Amino acid sequence: MNLGRSSGVLLHPTSLPSSWGVGDLGPSAYRFVDLISSAKQRVWQVLPLTPVGEHGSPYSPHSLFAGNPLLLSPERLVQEGYLHELPSAAPRAEPALVDYSASLKFKQGVVEGAFKFSFDRTKGETGFKEFCDDNASWLDDYALYSALTGEYGRPWADWPEGIRRGEKGVLEQERSKLADSLQKTRFSQFLFQEEWSALKGYAGQRGIRILGDVPFYVLHDSSDVWAHPVLFKVGSDGRPLFVGGVPPDYFSKTGQLWGNPVYDWNRMEETGYLWWKERAARGLVLADYLRLDHFRGYVAYWEVPAGSATAQVGRWVPLPATFFGSVRSAFPTLPFVAEDLGVITEDVIRAREDLGIPGMRVLQFAFDGHSDNPHLPANHDRNSLVCTGTHDTNTTLGWFEEEASPKNKRVLETYLGRPVTQNSVCTDFLEMAMESAADLCVVPMQDVLGLGGAARMNNPGTSVGNWRWRALPEDLSEDHFEKLEGFTSSFGRA
């Protein structure tokens, strides 16, 4: 990955303003691209673009390959002739928050309307046929999984045995019975691909590259685990034997128990890691570069027996030594950023350095008083991505007001040589990030706007109220990007 000295903004599309209860790939997304381009940014970082449920987490997707129909823009569908007219009513939602339940129901209605209006025409077009052919390796499984989920209304491990076990004859009968539903899912994925590709192309024309994200794990109730159970540590009944998480760390005293089934990496090694390579390749269709979520998990992952109350009861399980060589062979340019946060050991550091890919430095973690802290700006190296905070931390103002200890504040003020206040902290952190030696600097949109803890995107270890923050329409104004543009120019990132 080589962007030179540059900077960008982190904003997930669901956090964009829109008229439909959730941010999408419509007018506000194009407005955002124009604004960051004018502010001399070169990167738009997004979270995973995968389909989510009412929980909203893009890191627990129902497919690691599929796109999120929740991001479809009714305006774009009308503009491209897939929808006759805009919906007459939108979900009733707070402008600054996503209501996933209402938004999912609404967007399902939008897809249904587009399907009825334009599918008969679209299914005969070359573009749709090519999309289905090019993506058949994951699309057919995801379409059938989605149709069966709608048919049986429960997770796949509770489906009738023949369907759960993927018996060929049984599945053929289901495909025939659910043919219309399968086509609807293929169509919605085609629409997502059309809208996202158009937006990504627009960004590219304006000098903006997309930094995407590869979730480490997938939901147990997903097309991936159902279609490829041999790649996961699940029992003959399809239920997890072990689940993923991390031991106690900065975010949680009892660790994080994610509950996702863990991979059988030895079985993956036998296949030459084909499935992992295919999903990384899919990610690089949707983005120019990829952040490898939970990078330390590619060296060794924390495995917790299923049914455990916390993640404290677990063990580190190393990956086969052949994995990184296989990655280098498949992706020789290594267009990746390592999310190397949390419990980082020497073997994780060596693995990242051997690959030569950037790691992450987070300013909120920097001011503990230890001079060798890798997040301290004085210790940053060029091959890094520096950020003020991440989607898993508080906003910078929220950190200062709610989490920073008196010691953190003293160390911060000593480092800067001046007082730091609620009014100055976002500017102080933005300046430090931009001045850093790290080649790439990415600032969460909330810190560009100077927002407090109410705008936090995710609070790890909690399951309620996450992933909901949205920018307001008035936030997408040039005034909010003036300081960002000024620092970008001053510190040689333009």
Residues with a catalytic annotation lie at 293, 339, 392
Sign of the Cα torsion 228, 107, 199, 481 reads: negative
Residue that is written with structure tokens 């031991």 in the block:
247
Residue in this structure with the two tokens 């903004």, named with its chain if needed: 9
∠ CA 49-76-443 to the nearest 5 degrees?
40
Q: How far apart are CA 166 and CA 428, in angstroms?
A: 56
**Percentage helix, strand, coil for the chain under 3-state DSSP, each rounded to 5:** 45, 10, 40
Indicate the SS3 state at residue 350. Answer: helix
Which letter, b or e, does each residue of 310-322 get, where b requires 16 or more Cβ atoms within 10 Å of its Cβ?
A: bbeebeeeebeee
CA angle in degrees (0–180, nearest 5) for 203-207-212: 55
Query: Which residues touch 423 (CB under 8 Å, ≥6 apart)?
Result: none
32 neighbors 476 (Cβ within 8 angstroms): yes
DSSP secondary structure code for residue 469 in this structure: B
The alpha carbons of the chain give a radius of gyration, in whole angstroms, of: 22
Map residue 368 onto helix, strand or coil: coil
- The distance of Cα 153 from the centroid of its chain, to the nearest Å, equals 26
Q: How far apart are CA 220 and CA 400, in angstroms?
A: 37
Question: What is the distance between the alpha carbons of residues 245 and 374, in angstroms, rounded to a whole number?
Answer: 24
Q: How many CB atoms are closer than 10 A to CB 205?
A: 10
**Core vs surface per residue 28-58: b (16+ CB within 10 A) or e:** bbbebbbbbbebbbbbbbbbbbbbbeeebbb
90, 20 contact by CB (below 8 A): yes
Tokens of 429: 């952190």
d(CA 149, CA 393): 34
In total, the chain counts a number of residues equal to 494
- Helix axes of 179-205 and 126-134: crossing angle, nearest 10 degrees: 100
Centre a 10 Å sphere on the Cβ of residue 303 and count the other Cβ atoms it contains: 18
Secondary structure E strands in 396-445:
440-444
